[in-house]
Chain A
Amino acid sequence: MNKIYGEGDTKVHALVDVSFSVKKGEFVLVVGSSGSGKSTLLNMIGLLDRPTNGQVSIDGTNTTTLSDDQISSFRNSKLGFIFQSSNLLTDLTVLENTLLPRNIQHTDQNAMNEAINLLKAVGLGDQMNKRANKISGGQAQRAAIARGLVNKPSIVLADEPTGNLDSVTAETIIQLMKSMAEKLGQTFIVVTHDRHQFGEVDRIITIRDGRAFEGEDPPRKMEIKV
Chain B
Amino acid sequence: MDYRIHLANRMLANKKGSLLGAIMAVSIGILVIHVNFVIFQGLYDAIIRDLSGYRFGDVLVTNREDVITEKSDVFLVNWLERIPYVEAAAPRLSSSASINVTKSGKTIQDFGVPIVGIDPFHDIRVSTVHETVKDGQYVFSRNSIVVGSTIARDLGGVNVGDNLKVKIVNRHGEDAIKRFIVTGIASSPGGQGFDNSVVIHIDTLRDMLDRQKETGQILVKLNDPTKANEVKDLFLRSFPNDDFKVETIEESAEQTLSGFRSGIAMINMIGYFGMMSSAFAVVTIQMMLVSSKTREIGIMRAIGAKRKDILVIFLFQGMIIGVIGAGVGTGFGLSYTFYAKETKMSFQGSLPLQVSYDWSKIIQTAIMAFGLAVIASIYPAIKATKLQPVEAMRSV
Does B296 sit at the interface, judged by CB under 8 A?
yes
**Other-chain residue from B7, B295, B301, B309 in contact with A92 (beta carbon distance below 8 A):** B7
Does B14 sit at the interface, judged by CB under 8 A?
yes
Contact between A75 and B307, CB atoms less than 8 A apart: no
User: In chain B, residues 277-307, which have Cβ atoms closer than 8 Å to a Cβ of chain A?
Assistant: 295-296, 299-307
- B230-265 interface mask toward A, CB cutoff 8 Å, 1 = contact, 0 = none? 000000000000000000000000000000000000
Given the interface contacts A100-B3, A104-B3, does A91 sit within 8 Å of B305 by beta carbon? no
Given the interface contacts A89-B7, A89-B296, A91-B11, does A69 sit within 8 Å of B302 by beta carbon? no
Contact between B393 and A83, CB atoms less than 8 A apart: yes
Q: Which chain A residues lie closer than 8 Å to B3 at the CB level?
A: 99-100, 103-104
Given the interface contacts A49-B390, A83-B393, A104-B309, does A91 sit within 8 Å of B10 by beta carbon? yes
Interface size of A by CB at 8 A reads 28
Does A55 sit at the interface, judged by CB under 8 A?
no
Q: Which chain B residues lie closer than 8 Å to A206 at the CB level?
A: none
Contact between A81 and B11, CB atoms less than 8 A apart: no
Contact between A87 and B305, CB atoms less than 8 A apart: no
Does A46 sit at the interface, judged by CB under 8 A?
yes
Contact between B10 and A92, CB atoms less than 8 A apart: yes
Complexed CA–CA distance, A46 and B11 (Å): 27
Does A73 sit at the interface, judged by CB under 8 A?
yes
Does A76 sit at the interface, judged by CB under 8 A?
yes
Contact between A104 and B393, CB atoms less than 8 A apart: no
Complexed CA–CA distance, A92 and B10 (Å): 7
Given the interface contacts A43-B390, A91-B7, does A104 sit within 8 Å of B296 by beta carbon? no
Complexed CA–CA distance, A101 and B296 (Å): 13
Q: Which chain B residues lie closer than 8 Å to A96 at the CB level?
A: 6
**Other-chain residue from B295, B303, B307, B390 in contact with A100 (beta carbon distance below 8 A):** B303
Does B333 sit at the interface, judged by CB under 8 A?
no
Interface of B is mostly: helix
Q: How far is the CB of A93 from chain B (nearest CB, A)?
A: 9
Q: How far is the CB of A58 from chain B (nearest CB, A)?
A: 14
Complexed CA–CA distance, A206 and B296 (Å): 31
Does A68 sit at the interface, judged by CB under 8 A?
yes
Contact between B304 and A87, CB atoms less than 8 A apart: no
Given the interface contacts A43-B390, A48-B389, A104-B309, does A91 sit within 8 Å of B304 by beta carbon? no
Size band of the interface chain B makes with A: 20 to 34
Does A147 sit at the interface, judged by CB under 8 A?
yes
Does A117 sit at the interface, judged by CB under 8 A?
no
Given the interface contacts A91-B296, A104-B3, does A68 sit within 8 Å of B305 by beta carbon? no
Chain B, Cβ-Cβ closest to A70: B306
Given the interface contacts A83-B393, A89-B296, does A104 sit within 8 Å of B304 by beta carbon? yes
Does A105 sit at the interface, judged by CB under 8 A?
yes
Contact between B390 and A48, CB atoms less than 8 A apart: yes
Complexed CA–CA distance, A171 and B14 (Å): 34
Given the interface contacts A83-B393, A91-B14, does A46 sit within 8 Å of B302 by beta carbon? yes
Q: Which chain B residues lie closer than 8 Å to A75 at the CB level?
A: 302-304
Contact between B306 and A73, CB atoms less than 8 A apart: yes
Q: Which chain A residues lie closer than 8 Å to B10 at the CB level?
A: 91-92
Complexed CA–CA distance, A24 and B1 (Å): 36
Q: How far is the CB of B9 from chain A (nearest CB, A)?
A: 9
Q: Which chain B residues lie closer than 8 Å to A49 at the CB level?
A: 388, 390
**Other-chain residue from B13, B300, B304, B388 in contact with A73 (beta carbon distance below 8 A):** B304
Complexed CA–CA distance, A46 and B302 (Å): 8
- B370-396 interface mask toward A, CB cutoff 8 Å, 1 = contact, 0 = none? 000000000000000000111001000
Q: Which chain B residues lie closer than 8 Å to A99 at the CB level?
A: 3
Q: How far is the CB of A36 from chain B (nearest CB, A)?
A: 17
- A71-86 interface mask toward B, CB cutoff 8 Å, 1 = contact, 0 = none? 0110111000101000
List 8 other contacts, CB 8 Å, given A89-B296, A91-B296, A104-B303.
A68-B306, A75-B302, A81-B303, A87-B302, A90-B296, A92-B10, A100-B303, A104-B300
Q: Tell me the B residues contacting A by CB distance below 8 Å.
A: 3, 6-7, 10-11, 13-14, 295-296, 299-309, 388-390, 393
**Could you jot down 19 A-B contacts, CB within 8 Å?**
A43-B390, A49-B390, A69-B308, A72-B306, A75-B302, A75-B303, A75-B304, A76-B305, A87-B299, A87-B302, A88-B299, A89-B296, A89-B299, A90-B296, A91-B7, A99-B3, A104-B300, A104-B309, A151-B304
